[in-house]
Structure 1
Amino acid sequence: MSVQEEVLEEVFSEVKKENQIVVFNDDVNTFDHVIEMLMLACDHDPIQAEQCTLLIHYTGKCTVKTGDYDDLKPRCSKLLDAGLSAEIQ
């Protein structure tokens, strides 16, 4: 592999940074509501949504979806509209 190929590979991997939706714990939303919203907005199956909800509760936050910003933006908006504390990082 040439030096030019190595540099191009490094640049490409830096540009391809994945974004993530992080949901934060709060004292307002119930477990059932968070689980339901993760299934609706992030296409989680029930077990994945429940596991993420437990992580949110016990650790304070959880990355619930990764991917392209354009895909994550409407998903995060659904979570925010439902009263969850979420952001794209």
Structure 2
Amino acid sequence: MNTATETLYQDDVLLLEEVTDVRNLVVYNDDVNTFDHVIETLMDVCNHTPEQAEQCTLLVHYKGKCVVKMGEFELLAGMCTAIHDRGISADVV
């Protein structure tokens, strides 16, 4: 007699999803600030590498604006204030 025992497992899985409101920190071009000042600001405030900061600064200059950081509003709001404190135009959108 051949008896096969089959055991079926059913696991209840609870999936938790955290919904975050991702925003963009945008820096705008102006005729006042130098490339070096904007690059230094992005490195200091946004923790950009020198290469990242330079690329963003070039985009700001040639395109008029650039998203320099993405994240939650609370984090970006502080960075935006720090950028404003250095005389650079920025918004969290």
Q: Which category of TM-score, normalised to the shorter sequence, fits these structures? A: 0.7 to 0.9
How many correspondences in the alignment?
77
Structure 1, unaligned runs of 5 or more: 1-11
- Structure in which a larger fraction of residues adopt helix: 1
Post-superposition offset of 1:51: 0.1
TM-score by length of 1: 0.82
**Structure of greater Rg:** 2
- Counterpart position of 1:21: 25
Q: In 2, distance between residues paired with 1:53 and 1:79?
A: 13
4+ residue runs of structure 1 moved beyond 2 angstroms? none
User: What percentage of residue pairs aligned between the two structures are identical?
Assistant: 55
Structure 2, unaligned runs of 5 or more: 1-16
TM-score by length of 2: 0.78
Question: CA-atom RMSD, angstroms?
Answer: 1.3
